[in-house]
């Protein structure tokens, strides 16, 4: 009897054992599943934050470039090291931006490694390192992005004329253009440039816009110089080996070693076609007028590009720029 009972309980033990084992596996499985689910949620969140940062970086960077260049526009005082100053302010704003994730238990860090020229003179390149961390998950990514000077919800102003004309009466903003009054003529006179009077009441574009008349010889390929007139009226900028890049413009440099840009500075219209073709004045390209590093300001012959009633619109161009823009060589 006792023996039988012993056999029975042993048998029932072996019968129950698989059920126990199964239960243990099931419990283990479900905790594993919960952990896997949590990890999946974390990875979704981490990657979402990384994407959010990647999307917003160029917008925040563009605001920094606008604000830094506006400081120069308003004060006329150039930045001493634009790459460094833009990078530092960019870092401040990214620190603020990243701190908003702390409440959600996500560690986010964005280090701005470098702000420098892009291969495209109408962009500024930024290199950054993003780290997003939650739970055991850590996501690192290095980014190289372009910040557009031309495309965005607000324009970016050219700071260079405001630096050059400071102390000579100052340049002012008049709608979409820069009005020089007497300041540009004063600036040129102070450098001993001949025929500086030609730039009394001159104007030039205010914000950086990329010229669509590309190849540039299209400017001169119509008899009436209609493309050149439209380019001037719209205030476009052109790619240029000699013209200063945007970051150097913030430092008040009229020329630099980087691949840069150039625009036209337009003399005030005259009431008679007074300029005979043998008259000359500084060539109306901004890097020629603002090159005060030596004998960089050379002269050009006038081109009449538009007239209406008693108003004659001309600019001066040297032969190499005439060639660049497809305008007849003098």
Q: Is residue 236 at the binding interface for Zn ion, with CB under 5 A as the rule?
A: yes
Q: How far is the CB of 108 from Zn ion (least distance, A)?
A: 33
Q: In what order do the strands lie in the sheet with 137-148?
A: 107-117, 123-134, 137-148
Burial 230-252 (b: 16+ CB within 10 A, else e): bbbeebbbbbbebbbbbbbbbbb
- Using the contact rule CB under 5 A, the part of the chain among 8-16, 135-143, 257-265, 281-289 near Zn ion is 257-265
Looking at the Cβ atoms of 168 and 249, the one nearer to Zn ion is: 249
Distance, C-alpha 162 to centroid of its chain: 19
**Stretch of residues binding Zn ion (CB under 5 A), selected from 128-136, 149-157, 194-202, 212-220:** 212-220
Contact between 284 and 290 under an 8 Å Cβ cutoff? The reply is: no
Phi/psi at 242 (5° precision): -90, -30
Q: Does 258 bind Zn ion (CB under 5 A)?
A: yes
Stretch that binds Zn ion, among 26-34, 54-62, 167-175, 233-241 (CB under 5 A): 233-241
Among the residue ranges 4-12, 248-256, 279-287, 310-318, the one whose residues contact Zn ion (CB under 5 A): 248-256
To Zn ion, the closest distance from the beta carbon of 245 in angstroms equals: 3
CB of 308 to Zn ion, least distance (A): 21
**# residues contacting Zn ion (CB under 5 A):** 8
Would you state the structure tokens that stand for residue 191, as one six-digit string? 């450098």
Q: Which of 50, 60, 98, 256 binds Zn ion (CB under 5 A)?
A: 256
Of 49, 106, 211, 315, the one binding Zn ion (CB under 5 A) is 211
Reduced to 3 states, what is the DSSP secondary structure of residue 109?
Answer: strand
Q: Considering beta carbons, is residue 66 or 258 the nearer one to Zn ion?
A: 258
Report phi then psi at 115, rounded to 5: -120, 120
Helix 82-99 to helix 2-75 angle (10° resolution) is 140
Q: Is 187 in the site for Zn ion (CB under 5 A)?
A: no
Q: How far is the CB of 231 from Zn ion (least distance, A)?
A: 3
Both tokens of 41, joined, read 């949620």
Residue indicated by tokens 């490694």: 113
* Site of interaction with Zn ion (CB under 5 A): 211, 213, 231, 236, 245, 248, 256, 258
């Amino acid at each position: 009897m006792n023996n039988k009972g012993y056999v029975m309980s042993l048998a029932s033990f072996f019968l129950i054992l698989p059920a126990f084992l199964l239960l243990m596996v099931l419990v283990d499985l479900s905790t594993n599943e919960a952990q896997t689910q949590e990890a999946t949620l974390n990875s979704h969140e981490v990657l979402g934050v990384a994407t959010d940062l990647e999307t917003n970086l160029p917008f925040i960077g563009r605001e920094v470039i606008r604000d830094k260049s506006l400081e120069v526009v308003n004060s006329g005082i150039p930045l001493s090291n634009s790459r460094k100053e833009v990078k530092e302010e960019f870092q401040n704003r990214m620190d603020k931006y990243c701190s908003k994730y702390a409440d959600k238990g996500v560690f986010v860090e964005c280090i701005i490694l470098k702000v420098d020229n892009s291969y495209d003179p109408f962009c500024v390149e930024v290199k950054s390192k993003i780290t997003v961390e939650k739970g055991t998950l850590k996501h690192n990514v290095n980014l190289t992005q372009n910040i557009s000077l031309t495309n965005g919800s607000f324009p970016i102003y050219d700071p260079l004329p405001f630096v050059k004309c400071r102390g000579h009466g100052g340049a002012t903003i008049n709608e979409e253009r820069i009005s020089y009054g007497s300041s540009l003529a004063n600036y040129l006179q102070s450098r001993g440039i001949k025929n500086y009077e030609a730039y009394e009441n001159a104007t030039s574009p205010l914000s950086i816009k990329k010229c669509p008349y590309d190849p540039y010889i299209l400017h001169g390929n119509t008899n009436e110089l209609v493309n050149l007139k439209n380019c001037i009226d719209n205030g476009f900028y052109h790619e240029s080996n000699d013209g200063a890049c945007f970051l150097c413009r913030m430092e008040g440099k009229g020329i630099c070693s980087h691949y840069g840009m150039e625009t036209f500075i337009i003399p005030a219209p005259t009431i008679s076609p007074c300029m005979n073709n043998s008259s000359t004045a500084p060539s109306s390209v901004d890097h020629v007028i603002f090159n005060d590093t030596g004998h960089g300001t050379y002269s050009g012959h006038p081109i009449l590009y538009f007239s209406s009633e008693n108003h004659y619109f001309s600019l001066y161009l040297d032969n190499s720029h005439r060639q660049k823009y497809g305008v007849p060589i003098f």
